[in-house]
Structure 1
Amino acid sequence: MRTLASAAGRTVRTTEVIHFGNTLQQTYDAGEVTAALSGATRYDYIVLQEYSTLVATNPAAATSALLGTYAPAFARTLKPGGKVVLFKNWALRDPAPFATRAAAVAAIDTNYAALSAALDTPNVVAPISDEFEKLIATNGTSYLIVADGKHPDDTAIYLDAVTLYGILFRESPRGLSDQYLTATTAAALRDVAATQIGY
């Protein structure tokens, strides 16, 4: 997203704490989150992405991590008017333990809505799952998900980035640069993102 912002004449300053394959609780327990959320730095937004299937399959654990572990730090780390962004993960190619992909998506929808409502801190749900489903309905899962059935391909990464850009800067991503995609593909993705976030 920083590359997109730079191309648009904007600067994004970030603090990243990423442990691939970890839940948010595991990431917190690793220790680096404590410094990032100490209050020494104040943020306009805090973006949280939970482990890919946890919110759908174990909402109690996801709720405990968000409300019990992370939420106490938000008051000291968000600037006035700041928000938490809940990154709404997509359903994997294999929907297990759900019987169908539609059932997995329904659980994602229900549980992210519940997380958002339970969090007292002002927050917004980044509708990544909704965007995936719209595009997958037309193009199939391989359009956005790599062969392992879980991770995003370069097209999906661009979609995620333009979505977050629109949310964080509170403006339509429709005019952003194409980056490494063809103009037609990039414009179509920006249109999907802009529609989902209300631009």
Structure 2
Amino acid sequence: MEQATQSSGQQQNRQQAVYDIRNGGHYGASAALSAQGYAPVAELYTGAWSNVNQGLQGNSRDILTTYWQHIINHLETDNHDYKIHQLPLARIKKVMKADPEVKMISAEAPILFAKGCDIFITELTMRAWIHAEDNKRRTLQRSDIAAALAKSDMFDFLIDIVPREEATSHAKRSSQAGGAAVNNSIHMNHNSANDLEMVSARQRLTKVIGRLVSWS
């Protein structure tokens, strides 16, 4: 945490960067800052923070570290409106109460869980989107999520829900296809297409997480 905070201080010494999620959401904002040279030094993310860029290289790694640096800055410095949440607190409380050992829940606990789930959904969407782009696709597939999970052991707890075999079988099918897939969005404006697909991808993954929560 100290190392990540030091990186934050180094970033602030430079001209203030603008993290603009209007173009492509968090992925677009992180990619833009990374391209401008604002990506934190990946080597600073060690220990408990090593999972931030685990399984990623080059530009993809820079995008994820830029996103996480934004999250750190946001949590440490911004004023937060705790009445606004991306996920329903009632559903989160229901899951927490499913544990028979949980007798009482403080008012702050569901808020922290909601924020944690929001960050988790965003990061996993970005990792899956990176895999989709690497395969020249504009549509996020279940196999992209499986491939993203396979690149980091911090997602091992999801192995029963999204088996790693899916990523392997998809890679084999892609290899056999010999690169025959065609980009259906070739006539679309690149930035507009990226915005729409990232929003759609995040909505799909949010629905998946919602189902997992309801099953619990």
TM-score under structure 2 normalisation?
A: 0.30
Q: Select the structure that is richer in helix.
A: 2
TM-score under structure 1 normalisation?
A: 0.31
Q: Select the structure that is richer in strand.
A: 1
* Structure number with bigger Rg: 2
